[in-house]
């Protein structure tokens, strides 16, 4: 019996290498992501596209943070393309949303500026 599928699909968008993450990014699949990032040429401009993720756990979030740090150390520009709403909500809940280099979505959504979580506490209405 095999586990959930995780793939990294690499494409070129002009000079930028786009790694599209598809499936479940968890403890079992983190080495696939690490290997894909490490195999990129030096000084490459990189985008990690999270739109194909169906699941991410804490080890996957940690791997993305480490990948971004590793790219910065190698002087590679890296951006994250936001994932589905449930994935982005996890970044917000864990407090790392503003620390990761997300780019604006085509619809103008800025993952670092707009909260995805519903407002839990409302100010009491005055009568």
Contact 49, 25 (CB under 8 A): no
CA 93 to chain centre: 14
CA 45 – CA 16 distance, rounded (Å): 5
Residue 122 is predicted with a pLDDT of: 45
Confidence (pTM): 0.81
Cα three-residue angle 31-35-37, rounded to 5 degrees: 120
> How does pLDDT run along the chain (127 residues), one tens digit per residue?
456 689 999 999 888 999 999 999 999 999 999 999 999 988 889 999 999 999 999 999 999 999 999 999 999 999 999 999 999 999 999 999 988 999 976 555 555 555 555 544 445 555 5
Superfamily of domain 6-99: STAS domain (3.30.750.24)
Q: How much is the pLDDT for 120?
A: 45
């Amino acid at each position: 019996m095999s586990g959930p599928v995780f793939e990294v699909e690499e494409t070129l968008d002009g000079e930028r290498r786009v790694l599209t993450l598809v499936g479940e990014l968890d403890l079992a699949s983190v080495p696939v992501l690490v290997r894909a990032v490490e195999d990129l040429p030096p000084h490459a401009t990189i985008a990690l596209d999270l739109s194909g993720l169906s699941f991410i756990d804490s080890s996957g979030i940690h791997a993305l943070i480490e990948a971004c740090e590793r790219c910065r150390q190698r002087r590679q520009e890296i951006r994250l393309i936001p994932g589905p709403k449930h994935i982005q909500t996890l970044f917000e809940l864990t407090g790392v949303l503003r620390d990761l280099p997300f780019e604006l979505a085509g619809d103008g959504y800025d993952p670092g500026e707009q909260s995805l979580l519903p407002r839990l506490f409302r100010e009491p209405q005055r009568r």
